[in-house]
Amino acid sequence: MMNKKLVMIPGPTPTVRSITDQMGRETVAFGDPSFVKDFKELIINLKKLLKVDGECFVVAGTGTLAMEMAVSNVTKRGDNILIVSNGFFGDRFIDICERKGLNVDVLSAPWGEVVSPETIEKKLKEKNYAAMTVSHVDTATGARAPIQEIGKVAKKFPETIYIVDGVAATAGEREYVDDYGIDILFTASQKAFGVAPGLLILWAGQKALARRKALGTIPEYYIDFEKWIPIMNDPSKYFATPAVNMIWALKESVRMINEEGIEARYDRHISVSDSINEAIEALGFTILAKNENRCSTLSNILYPEGVNDIEFRKVLADEGVMVAGGLAAYAGKMFRLGHMGNIDDHTVYSTIAAIERTLIKLGYKYEKGIGLKTLLEKK
């Protein structure tokens, strides 16, 4: 019999039965009063969850579309934009913004590190930036940007819209939109919400909404805030067909988050990630990001001498755990392990046990059982 595979890549994340049940429901008309009510409740709850006095958009698409949506609604051709990049996904904004005819300035950190709020403040003083983008967690490095401190800096620059990419963070790492001075935050359904891929979720505060209004007509159609605002406030209206079953699935995810409590959820992510990282280090691996800026949603793990990437990931997959490879300069040197969303203890133990079995199968010399022992001691 084929082994069940745990999806321990940094998204999609494992889906629980009550969420997949919603995806498997018989689809109804998007004008069905029961669906309209569900959609409306979802938007209200999402706004409460991350505390925004503004709008929340739930639109079919992925995180990359949300990146475009964020930039498109607050900038126009010829504007200056500052991209704060801590890795591969931060860099993705460069191409998006250059294609839009924006003047792009980039601040980047070596992989595993983050650009400091002081450096950002100095840069923002140089010219008038229409917007600034920061990735909360760059999935390629596992480093977490200090978005709250950057928010304090951003408040000093009223002309600049502060955009946070929360794709590998939101619903797993502490984030509050208005309290942190964030103007736009976005994520995608397949990450810490624990839903399958298919939805983008974007929160926009009053400053971002005012900027959108001031721009007049924008070239983009599907991702225009102005097109979606009437729908998000009254889902009985039509602009483009909502992803009915995905919206139900997200609603179930938010129900689960509220049942757990968002603060408890953030704490759980920290304790799961601390346990996994300690166990992994006990097995002889190294975590790329340093403790002080290490995220709690995923781990980017460097191999010890003598462990081959392709072999390791193949045997680990045979043992029932899928992980992702390293990107760019880290291809072949690291693997990426997601642990965000609805991860339970059973999954954590199974993952570490599968890594141990893999090391044994590869004939790697290490203290047998040390991974599980470390997990148990952390409990």
Binding site for ligand PMP (CB under 6 A): 11, 62-64, 89, 135, 138-139, 165, 167-168, 188
> Which of residues 182 and 352 has its CB atom nearest to ligand PMP in the complex?
182
Residue 335 forms beta bridges with which residues? Answer: 301, 325
Residue 31 Cβ vs ligand PMP, minimum distance, rounded to whole Å: 28
Nearest distance from residue 92's CB to ligand PMP, in Å? 6
Note the maximum CA span of the chain: 64
Query: Whose Cβ is closer to ligand PMP: residue 95's or residue 234's?
Result: 95
Contact present, 43 and 201 (Cβ < 8 Å): no
Taking the complex as a whole, the smallest distance from the CB of residue 249 to ligand PMP amounts, in Å, to 16
Amino acid (1-letter code) at residue 116: S
Letter for the amino acid at 178? D
Give the nearest distance from C-beta 161 to ligand PMP in angstroms: 18
Number of residue whose CB is nearest ligand PMP: 63
- Phi, psi dihedrals of residue 349, rounded to the nearest 5°: -60, -45
Cβ-Cβ contacts under 8 Å for 268 (sequence gap 6 or more)? 260
In the structure encoding, which two tokens stand for residue 171, read together? 């619903």
Identity of the residue, 62 or 236, whose beta carbon is nearer to ligand PMP in the bound complex: 62
Q: 295: which strand partners?
A: none
Least distance in angstroms from the C-beta of 63 to ligand PMP: 2
Instruction: Give which of 359, 340, 3, 8 is closest to 188, Cα–Cα.
Output: 340
Question: Cβ closer to ligand PMP: 166 or 205?
Answer: 166
Q: Which conformational region is residue 338 in: left (phi greater than 0), alpha (psi within -120 to 50 degrees), or beta?
A: beta
Residue type, position 126, single letter? E
Residue 79 or residue 138: which is nearer to ligand PMP going by CB?
138
Give the residue with the Cβ less far from ligand PMP, 81 or 167.
Answer: 167
The least CB distance from residue 197 to ligand PMP, in Å, is 6
> Would you call 163 helix, strand, or coil by DSSP?
strand
**Whole-angstrom Cα distance, residue 168 to residue 89?**
10
